[in-house]
Amino acid sequence: MIEGTETATGARFPQVRMRRLRAGSTMRRMVRETRLSPDQLILPAFAIAGRDARVPIPSLPGHSRMSPDLVADTARRAFAAGVPAMLLFGVTDHKDAAASAAYEAGGVVQSAVAAIKDAVPEMVVITDVCLCAYTDHGHCGVLVGDRVDNDQSLELLARTAVSHADAGADIVAPSDMMDGRVGAIRAALDAEGHVETTIMAYSAKYASAFYGPFREAAGSAPGFGDRRGYQMDPANGQEAVRETLLDVAEGADMVMVKPAAAYLDVISAVRSATDLPLAAYHVSGEYSMIKAAAERGWLDERLAAMEVLTGIARAGADMVITYYAEDAARWIAEGEVR
Ligand code: PBG
């Protein structure tokens, strides 16, 4: 008989056989540590102007830019599948230096929020608050020379958040990475009477290559340079905790790590550092990679997607923002995904 190494409790092989707990799917169900639930999933969507308009996004298979009426149809379907929340982005051709389309009343995001609230009042509507899809240069704030000016950007971000709350958004989610934006947005919301509007801060948002398909979808790639002057360096983990604690101090109600799959250690560190609800964003490139490999027959899409989403939850995320939200909710409902 082969004797194993003694463990801390003194138990060893063959008394200890870890495989006993893996003997069958029912046993595995009982001892499973992480149970991904549809309640944790948030579905992103891209809103455009018009009616009955749908423009597929080639690099995000299964997703389209949609007019507000079709965003509302998606909301109905997703909510029925068990997804409690959507995260909205706006796509527009009306771009200028001051990102005025970001905060105009009746803008695309504002209209889509109203359409969802009309169709599915119980659905939680989250809006992305950023300027990059509305500036003619594609950066996330106001330019002074070739630099994004932090403090001038705050005012426009706050105005954008207020316009989303005016339209009925339950949660505003600033993704710009300007310093002080959470505090500026909280103050502006409160001043306008939106004391109940929740802030989900993209606290640890990295300058990632995995946003590629999103930038195609939103037409928000920077016209020059990159976002490394405001988004985080992928090499930094400790800094994510500092960023998060600053957002908490400024009044964030929820925090976020983004991307997710390449940043599981960051999710875990942020989880330990704060009690606030924590979201992780499984971003466009992380979704498209699985899609592309599955299309080639290189991966089982369902198993690969569920493994990654479960891993993100296991790392400590309470909520997972994912383009797989609707599919995953159905897969979970269909039973054991393994
Ligand atoms: C806006 C924003 C981006 C994403 C979410 N909000 C793009 C970026 O920062 O360039 C990316 C989401 C995704 O890739 O799915 N600043």
Give the model's confidence band at 3: pLDDT under 50 very low, under 70 low, under 90 confident, else very high: low
Q: pLDDT at position 2, please?
A: 57
Q: pLDDT of 94-118, one tens digit each?
A: 999 999 999 998 999 999 999 999 9
Q: Which of 220, 226, 288, 312 to mutate to test the pocket of ligand 1 (most atoms within 8 A of CB)?
A: 220
Q: pLDDT at position 154, please?
A: 98
Pairing of strands 54-56, 64-66: antiparallel
Instruction: Check whether 7 has a pLDDT greater than 80.
Output: no
Average pLDDT of the chain?
A: 96
Give the model's confidence band at 312: pLDDT under 50 very low, under 70 low, under 90 confident, else very high: very high
Give the model's confidence band at 55: pLDDT under 50 very low, under 70 low, under 90 confident, else very high: very high
Pairing of strands 142-144, 147-149: antiparallel
Q: pLDDT at position 4, please?
A: 63
The yes-or-no answer on residue 291 being catalytic is: no
Instruction: Check whether 1 has a pLDDT greater than 80.
Output: no
HSE (side-chain half, CA atoms, 13 Å) at 56: 4
Residues with CB under 6 A from ligand 1: 128, 130, 132, 140, 175, 211, 214-215, 220, 227, 283-284
**Which protein residue's CA is at the shortest distance from atom 2 of ligand 1?**
175
Q: Which of 139, 214, 227 to mutate to test the pocket of ligand 1 (most atoms within 8 A of CB)?
A: 214
Cα–ligand 1 centroid distance for 189 (angstroms): 23
Instruction: Check whether 338 has a pLDDT greater than 70.
Output: no
Q: pLDDT at position 105, please?
A: 87
Q: pLDDT at position 6, please?
A: 64
Residue 320 burial (CB < 10 Å; 0-12/13-18/19+)?
buried
Of residues 104, 105, 158, 100, the one with CA closest to residue 129: 158
199 contacts 172 by C-beta, under 8 angstroms: yes
β-partners of residue 114 are none
DSSP per position, 41-85: EEEEEEE-SSSS-EEE-TTSTT-EEE-HHHHHHHHHHHHHTT--E
| Extents of the domains making up the chain | 35-333
Residues 6+ apart with CB under 8 A from 171: 85, 124, 125, 126, 127, 197, 198, 199, 200, 253, 254
Using the atom order of ligand 1, give the atom closest to the CA of residue 323.
Answer: 15
The yes-or-no answer on residue 205 being catalytic is: yes
Helices marked H in the chain:
25-31, 68-80, 108-119, 150-167, 181-191, 212-218, 238-249, 264-273, 284-295, 301-315, 325-333
Give the model's confidence band at 266: pLDDT under 50 very low, under 70 low, under 90 confident, else very high: very high
Q: pLDDT at position 22, please?
A: 96
262 contacts 233 by C-beta, under 8 angstroms: no
Using the atom order of ligand 1, give the atom closest to the CA of residue 210.
Answer: 14
Give the model's confidence band at 44: pLDDT under 50 very low, under 70 low, under 90 confident, else very high: very high
Residues 6+ apart with CB under 8 A from 290: 299, 301, 304, 305, 308
Q: pLDDT at position 227, please?
A: 94
Q: pLDDT at position 171, please?
A: 98
Q: pLDDT at position 5, please?
A: 66
What the block records as the tokens of 46 is 């891209």
Give the model's confidence band at 9: pLDDT under 50 very low, under 70 low, under 90 confident, else very high: confident
Cα–ligand 1 centroid distance for 80 (angstroms): 27
Q: pLDDT at position 293, please?
A: 98
Identify the CATH number of the domain defined by range 35-333. 3.20.20.70
β-partners of residue 279 are 256, 319
What the block records as the tokens of 187 is 């103050």
Instruction: Check whether 10 has a pLDDT greater than 90.
Output: no
Cα–ligand 1 centroid distance for 224 (angstroms): 17
